[in-house]
Amino acid sequence: MYIVFFGAPGVGKGTQAQLVASRNTIGHLSTGDEFRRNIREGTGLGKQVQNIVESGALVPDELTTAIVRDALAQEKFANGCIFDGFPRTIQQAKDLDAILAESGSAITCIVNIEVPESEIVSRLLLRGRADDNEEVIRKRLAVYHDETAPVIDYYYATSKVVTVNGNSTMEEVYDSVMAALGLNVA
């Protein structure tokens, strides 16, 4: 099963991706977590992307797709993967289709989580991550509108998109996501 969690920064896709993955024993891959881990550990990749991530811009597609391609070779993704924060551009979406096609697979479903923008900004300010100050949040939302939002149109053409209202409690959103995926609530 290959599931993409899609939505603006702050809609809770990371939280839901983690919940669905751990409660249903599916691998979880967050490109944001991968970049932050590399920055923390001071790897070459971390040094390459630190300024980009802290400014709220997108890491170049080639670097991001390479991370995903390498990660998917791990045993923990043998039965599928929940993608969180990837793809964020149409190019990345095409790259992901190509990577999965190499092993005769394809995306199963795209879970599109929606939350009103006013709610998003207050959530992100509360979260208080290094890239969660108001200026960078505004930049991340602008990047989302310009580069990432069009990805959902790319996916609509596949009829694999399910939309979930993210503007309620974590457990309520979880139940909606599981129902949308056609899975029994665990």
Site of interaction with ligand ADP (CB under 6 A): 9, 14, 31-32, 35, 52-53, 56-59, 64, 85-86, 88, 92, 140
Give whichever of 53 and 111 is closer to ligand ADP, judged by the CB atom. 53
Closest CB 179 distance from ligand ADP, rounded Å: 23
Give whichever of 138 and 186 is closer to ligand ADP, judged by the CB atom. 138
Instruction: Using the CB atoms, write b or e for 95-114: b if 16+ within 10 Å.
Output: bbeeebeeeeeebebbbbbe
Give whichever of 57 and 99 is closer to ligand ADP, judged by the CB atom. 57
Give whichever of 11 and 178 is closer to ligand ADP, judged by the CB atom. 11
Do 141 and 9 meet the contact criterion of CB atoms below 8 Å apart?
Answer: yes
Give whichever of 28 and 88 is closer to ligand ADP, judged by the CB atom. 88
Shortest Cβ contact with ligand ADP: which residue?
A: 32
Tokens of 16: 């839901």
Whether the ω angle into residue 150 lies within 30 degrees of 0, i.e. cis, is no
Report the sign of the C-alpha dihedral through residues 51, 54, 56, 62, in that order. positive
Closest CB 56 distance from ligand ADP, rounded Å: 5
Closest CB 62 distance from ligand ADP, rounded Å: 10
Beta bridge pairs of residue 5: 84, 111
Phi, psi dihedrals of residue 138, rounded to the nearest 5°? -60, -40
Query: What 3-state class would DSSP assign to 3?
Result: strand
Closest CB 8 distance from ligand ADP, rounded Å: 8
Give whichever of 130 and 182 is closer to ligand ADP, judged by the CB atom. 130
Closest CB 184 distance from ligand ADP, rounded Å: 28
Type of residue found at 47: K
> E strands of the chain, at which residues?
2-6, 27-30, 81-84, 109-114, 161-165
Closest CB 182 distance from ligand ADP, rounded Å: 25
